Amino acid sequence: MDWHVYNSAVIIGVLIGFLTRLRLLEIDYRQYPTYPHGYLSHLALGMIASALGAVAVPALLKKDYTAVTFLALAAQQFRDVRNMERETLAKLDEMELVPRGASYIEGIAKVFESRNYLVIFSAFMTSLSVVLTKTWWVGAVVGGVLILGAGLLMSGQVIKDIANVYEGKLTFEGPNLYVDDIYLMNIGLEDNQKRILQHGIGLIIEPNSPAAVVTISNIGQRQAILHDVSAILGVYRDTGEPALVPIAKRDLNDGRLGLVLLPQEKNVGRAIQVVNFVPVLESAVRRPSQFSVRDTEGKRGQA
């Protein structure tokens, strides 16, 4: 009887784990992972992760503690996956007209690693529920809840959650380019000035909290914004034209961020919508308002 329950637990656990990875696998505007080869490699890893999580429950209940060793080896393999994703994206970034930047790449690599751990957790909990209740449909229900929960984890903070985005006016004062009152860069050639005024879009990102000021001032976060807009709307430039590179500069007085974008499609509303939904990078998040001098002094005294 136990073997029948264990077999059901493993089968249901592997299935739920694989479906969880399938739910978390999505091609969006960043076109990564690629289809079909990127899909295949990540789904194969998801199948391995789900098998490890599902098999761990019967192994531990049978006091076969070598299962823990296999989980530790799996963790090492998934860290290698993170390194692989980082290296791959870094190489691809060299060919981009507007690169992602190191912070964006590291965030994507972390996501791919952590999703494999989520697959192991889903398979493990599903398998455990089948073993405890000795009923396969209970595991299926638990697995369905875990799949829905995994879908919720796909969404994080975006720019519109921490700042307001609106159009700014691009102007030149001599060779100096401004968006509203924020200085952007020096453009010496009149031909480039005309092209920027003709094709360019000026945007202002106004943070809505002190923490948001620090977040959008992060260089990696700025580069992520510029890359996402260029990936969706295209970019009006070619190699060897530094004057036409999209750029973001901050106002040192109030923390606002000024952007000049040169998309193939000059659509201000669309550009604002894209910026609003750029993900907030984990590496850019800071919370200076939570700083406590008293706590810091206490920790320093304990050191």
Q: Quick check: is 130 in a domain?
A: yes
Q: How far apart are CA 157 and CA 279, in angstroms?
A: 6
Confidence of residue 32 (pLDDT cuts 50, 70, 90): low
Q: Quickly state the pLDDT bin for 300 (edges 50, 70, 90).
A: very low
In sequence order, the 6+-apart residues with CB closer than 8 A to the CB of 9 are 54, 57, 58, 126, 127, 128, 130, 131, 139
Let me know whether 217 and 259 are in one domain.
yes
Among the three residues 152, 182, 207, which one is the final residue of a domain in this structure? 152
Same domain, 22 and 139: yes
Residues 130 and 272 grouped into a single domain:
no
> Would you say residue 294 lies in a domain?
no
Written as six digits, the tokens of 22 are 């399938």
Whether the Cβ atoms of residue 213 and residue 221 lie closer than 8 Å to each other? no
Is residue 81 a part of any domain in this protein?
yes
Q: Whole-angstrom Cα distance, residue 46 to residue 200? A: 43
Residue at a domain's end among 152, 183, 199: 152
Pair 91, 62 in one domain: yes
Average pLDDT in the 201-223 region?
91
Which domain range does residue 223 map to? Answer: 159-288
Of 152, 183, 218, the residue at which a domain comes to its end is 152
Over range 183-200, report the average pLDDT: 88
Which DSSP helix (H) or strand (E) runs through 145? helix 136-152
For residue 295, being part of any structural domain is answered with: no
Rounded to an integer, the average pLDDT of 277-301 is 64
Can you tell me the mean pLDDT for 154-164? 85
Backbone angles phi, psi at 26, to 5 degrees: -150, 135
Give yes or no for residue 35 having a pLDDT over 70: no
103 in Cβ contact with 284 (< 8 Å): yes
Q: For 115-154, how does the pLDDT look when each residue is reduced to its tens digit (9 = 90+)?
A: 888 898 999 999 999 998 888 888 889 999 998 888 777 6
Task: Assess whether 148 and 165 both reside in one domain.
Answer: no
* Domains contained in the chain, number: 2
Q: Which residue has the tokens 């697959």?
A: 119
Instruction: Tokens 């969880």: give the residue.
Output: 20
The reported pLDDT for the residue numbered 46 is 86
3-state secondary structure (DSSP) of residue 225: helix
| Cα–Cα dist 139/127, whole Å | 7
Residue 229, CA distances (Å) to 21, 44, 141, 203, 262 in order: 28, 32, 40, 12, 9
Domain for residue 260, yes or no?
Answer: yes
| Residue 118 sits in the same domain as residue 182 | no
Report the C-alpha gap between 133 and 143 in whole angstroms: 14
Question: What are the contacts of 293-298 at 24+ separation with CB within 8 A?
Answer: none
| Residues 76-91: tens digit of each pLDDT | 777 877 888 888 888 8
Q: Is there a domain that residue 142 lies in? A: yes
Q: How confident is the model at residue 289 (pLDDT cuts 50, 70, 90)?
A: low
Question: Of 35-39, 153-157, 187-191, 232-236, which range is least confident?
Answer: 35-39
As a whole number, mean pLDDT of residues 292-303 equals 48
Q: How far apart are CA 120 and CA 141, in angstroms?
A: 17
